[in-house]
Chains A and B, each alone.
Chain A
Amino acid sequence: MEVKVNFISQEKLSGLGKEEKLHFILEEVRKGQILVLEQGLTAEEQAKLIEMTMEKVNNKFSGIEMESYMPEKQNFWEKLLGKRKARMTIVGPADKIKTVYRDKEIIKAVIVGKR
């Protein structure tokens, strides 16, 4: 059994606009790819990705499984500059990745591969 996971660097995604970035992620996931994003998605980006995913759900594509940690509290300067930290995000097709356990700091997921 072989499972393919794509690790996407911060540089790759930071070169894309917000919409472009989410389109890239969703298109990769719809192709069946599992992505680990070094620079994760902010809460607003996660919500937008859910919206975009819902537009694409059909009889063959049931949606995504996304895993990210709770947002970190902003410090004074980040709040002042409206900057939000995003922690690592894992995203993949709902039929390939399943969360088996998670708490505040630990996420355990199973990737379902084809034999």
Chain B
Amino acid sequence: MGIFGKLSGWLLSIFGKRHVAIGIYGPPNAGKTTLANRIAMDWAGDVVGETSEIPHETRKIQKKDRVMIKQDKASLTIDLVDTPGIATKIDYHDFLEYGLDEEEAKRRAKEATEGVIEAIKWLDNLDGVILLMDSTKNPFTQVNITILGNLEARELPFIIAANKIDLNGSTPATLKSAFPKHEVVPISALNGVNMDLLYETMVRKFGKKRK
């Protein structure tokens, strides 16, 4: 590393400004694309992808590069990676309930399986993860536990975001007590509730030098 690289690294370590790839992970319909859109709109004035009530709307990785989040004197430039929802099963019959015809449902199911594979493989390319959970649902799902276990095994820095706190039945405290060793930030990505706290946590957590 040359003198300019060393100087730059030293400045970065002081001011905490880094460029990192951050993935948003979670089960289908947790609100991953809604969160990606919220972050991208807040800091880049643009959206990442379309959202829908039908599960597996996002079936391919969607990226928004170089989104700069500023917090007081610190800032963090992120390549934001919105991932397809991870599931252990995908039954095309489930899509028929949303009014899709059989051919469309089968196509969506096939694409959704490819999306799950792509999302898992992308874990190798990231510097940090926002693990998004639906705070109206039981957090102890196999998908949450598998993702969490993989993040721990890879020693990737991550934040658990408890989404949908604006909805009746939301219990972010349950998530906090479920994962007491991890940082849990309650948010509503849809209505922008508590996003400042999430941004502050992202800059602090993902701006840190990795061990």
Contacts and interface: CB of A to CB of B under 8 A. Distances in A.
B71 interface: no
A57 B86 CA distance: 14
A64 B91 CA distance: 11
A94 B92 CA distance: 13
Contacts of A54: 90, 113-114, 116-117
B160 to A, nearest CB: 13
A111 to B, nearest CB: 15
A44 B153 contact: yes
B66 to A, nearest CB: 29
Interface string B129-159: 0000000001011100111111011000000
Given A63-B91, A64-B89, A57 B149 contact: no
Contacts of A70: 140, 145, 148-149
Contacts of B91: 62-63, 94
Interface in B65-122: 86-92, 106, 109, 113-114, 116-117, 120-121
A67 B88 CA distance: 11
Nearest to A89: B142
B173 interface: no
Given A66-B142, A84-B153, A94-B91, A57 B109 contact: yes
A113 interface: no
Contacts of B123: 47
A46 B149 contact: yes
Query: Interface residues of B toward A: which range?
Result: 20 to 34
A50 B92 contact: no
A75 interface: no
A78 B72 CA distance: 40
B127 to A, nearest CB: 18
A43 B148 CA distance: 8
Contacts of B121: 51
Given A46-B146, A69-B145, A71-B153, 20 more contacts: A42-B153, A43-B146, A43-B150, A47-B150, A50-B88, A50-B116, A50-B120, A50-B146, A51-B116, A57-B113, A59-B92, A62-B90, A63-B87, A63-B89, A64-B88, A66-B142, A68-B145, A71-B145, A102-B140, A102-B141
